[in-house]
């Protein structure tokens, strides 16, 4: 219930912060202030997503690091890949990512926990799914966290831990949020390592209050579109799902952040900026024309201009797996545009 009211309040916050942000944009345009480069662009990389697209994740992870040369990276510990059997750990995938990013001096955020990026959000191993006892399942979660944290806490390039992904947003195939257990997990992580912990929130559908209360750093996602699922018959017309743009100016997020920074004095970053289409099934099953209607090259350029107007130094971009998949299908323009207009500009914007 608290998640429902939190989302409702977040939507009500669109109006005051949106109006202030809109006024700031008008003022900037009046003064002809230029759109500035993002000083600290980063990339989110998912081994799972690369595999879903039929590509080799190790090959394209290395290509990402060497083609884009990001100084900031966000990688993901998937429980169902790390501990496929109870107390039998396979760290080879995460070791590879952490070692290769370490070789290049890339500051890396490692997302850990039950709920981490990419559908179905909660990536439980099969053996955990059949555990009925709540206390036993929580013990298994803490045992898993201990193993991951102790494994990677000594990496010098590990900049932040991220505990869970947008934990306060009811999204994905996940159990109901347990606030007491979340606090317990956070305290447990901090008892094992003193690095700052990032807590993330939806940029549009969360108030950010709980993230600012619990996080050492705050991360939030930015999505430009949302979807409404309508009945098959709506006014006698078959509609289905329709996509709409959020009515939010770019400065909405900075205005909202300035409010919470005044209260808590904590730093925030964009941990997930959408640069791929939101589809209801894998891109491998969707016609390219349909994908480009939802998110074409013009959309990508427009979104990147929006990202540069957000006013945040650190922005992690979401969609690199899709850009490489398109590149393999003779559509390199998405990959090339991001590389040229964001990451090749890093030296200029430092």
Is residue 101 in a domain?
yes
Residues 165-186: pLDDT tens digits? Answer: 999 999 999 999 999 999 999 9
Region 136-152: mean pLDDT is 98
- Compute the mean pLDDT over every residue in the chain, rounded to the nearest whole number: 91
Report whether pLDDT(33) > 70: no
> What is d(CA 271, CA 274) in angstroms, rounded to the nearest whole number?
10
Residues 193-242: pLDDT tens digits? Answer: 999 999 999 999 999 999 999 999 999 999 998 776 655 544 444 445 67
Name the residue among 220, 226, 218, 224 with its Cα closest to residue 206.
220
Is residue 34 in a domain?
no
Strand partners, 222: 273
> What is d(CA 334, CA 119) in angstroms, rounded to the nearest whole number?
23
What is the model's pLDDT at position 231?
Answer: 56
Is residue 224 in a domain?
yes
Enter the pTM of the model.
0.92
Indicate the pairing of strand 241-245 with strand 225-229.
antiparallel
Report whether pLDDT(78) > 50: yes
More confidently predicted of 13 and 24 = 13
Region 7-29: mean pLDDT is 75
Strand partners, 85: 88
Least confident of 50-64, 76-90, 232-246, 285-299: 232-246
What is the model's pLDDT at position 236?
Answer: 43
> What is d(CA 307, CA 289) in angstroms, rounded to the nearest whole number?
25
Region 311-315: mean pLDDT is 95
CA-to-CA separations, 300 to 267, 274, 333, in angstroms, rounded: 27, 9, 10
Degrees to nearest 5, angle at CA 114 with 313 and 273: 25
Report whether pLDDT(313) > 70: yes
Q: Give me the residue label for tokens 């957000």.
A: 310
What is the model's pLDDT at position 218?
Answer: 98
Residues 125-140: pLDDT tens digits? Answer: 999 999 999 999 999 9
Is residue 9 in a domain?
yes
CA 131 to chain centre: 29
Is residue 33 in a domain?
no
What's the CATH code of the domain at 289? 3.20.20.80
What is the model's pLDDT at position 349?
Answer: 39
Percentage with pLDDT > 90 across the chain: 80
Q: What is the dihedral of CA 146, 151, 153, 155, to 10 degrees?
A: -170
Is residue 319 in a domain?
yes
Is residue 147 in a domain?
yes
Is residue 125 in a domain?
yes
Per the structure, the count of domains in the chain is 1
Residue-range definition of the domain harbouring residue 220? 2-28+41-349
């Amino acid at each position: 219930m608290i998640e429902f009211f939190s989302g409702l309040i977040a939507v009500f916050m669109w109006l005051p912060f949106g109006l202030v942000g809109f006024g700031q944009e008008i003022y900037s345009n009046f003064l002809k202030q230029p759109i500035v480069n993002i000083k600290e662009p980063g990339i989110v990389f998912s081994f799972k997503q690369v595999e879903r697209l039929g590509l080799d994740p190790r090959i394209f992870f290395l290509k990402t690091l060497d083609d884009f040369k990001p100084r900031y990276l966000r990688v993901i510990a998937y429980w169902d890949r790390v501990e496929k059997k109870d107390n039998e750990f396979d760290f080879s995938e995460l070791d590879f990512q952490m070692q290769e990013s370490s070789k290049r001096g890339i500051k890396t955020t490692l997302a850990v926990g039950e709920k981490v990026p990419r559908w179905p959000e909660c990536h439980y191993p099969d053996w955990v799914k059949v555990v009925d006892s709540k206390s036993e399942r929580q013990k298994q979660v803490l045992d898993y966290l201990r193993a991951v944290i102790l494994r990677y806490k000594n990496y010098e390039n590990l900049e932040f831990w991220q505990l869970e992904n947008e934990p306060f947003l009811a999204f994905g195939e996940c159990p109901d949020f347990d606030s007491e257990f979340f606090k317990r997990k956070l305290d447990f992580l901090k008892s094992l390592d003193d690095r700052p912990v990032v807590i993330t929130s939806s940029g549009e559908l969360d108030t950010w209050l709980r993230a600012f209360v619990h996080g050492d750093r705050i991360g939030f996602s930015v999505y430009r579109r949302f979807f409404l699922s309508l009945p098959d018959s709506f006014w006698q017309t078959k509609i289905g799902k329709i996509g709409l743009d959020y009515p939010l100016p770019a400065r909405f997020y900075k205005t909202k952040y300035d409010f919470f920074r005044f209260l808590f004095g904590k730093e925030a970053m964009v941990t997930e900026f959408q640069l791929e289409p939101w589809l209801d099934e894998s891109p491998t099953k969707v016609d390219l024309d349909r994908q480009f209607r939802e998110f074409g090259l013009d959309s990508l350029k427009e979104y990147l201009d929006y990202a540069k107007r957000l006013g945040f130094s650190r922005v992690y971009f979401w969609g690199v797996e899709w850009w490489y998949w398109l590149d393999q299908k003779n559509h390199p323009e998405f990959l090339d545009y991001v590389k040229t207009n964001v990451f090749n500009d890093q030296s200029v914007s430092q």
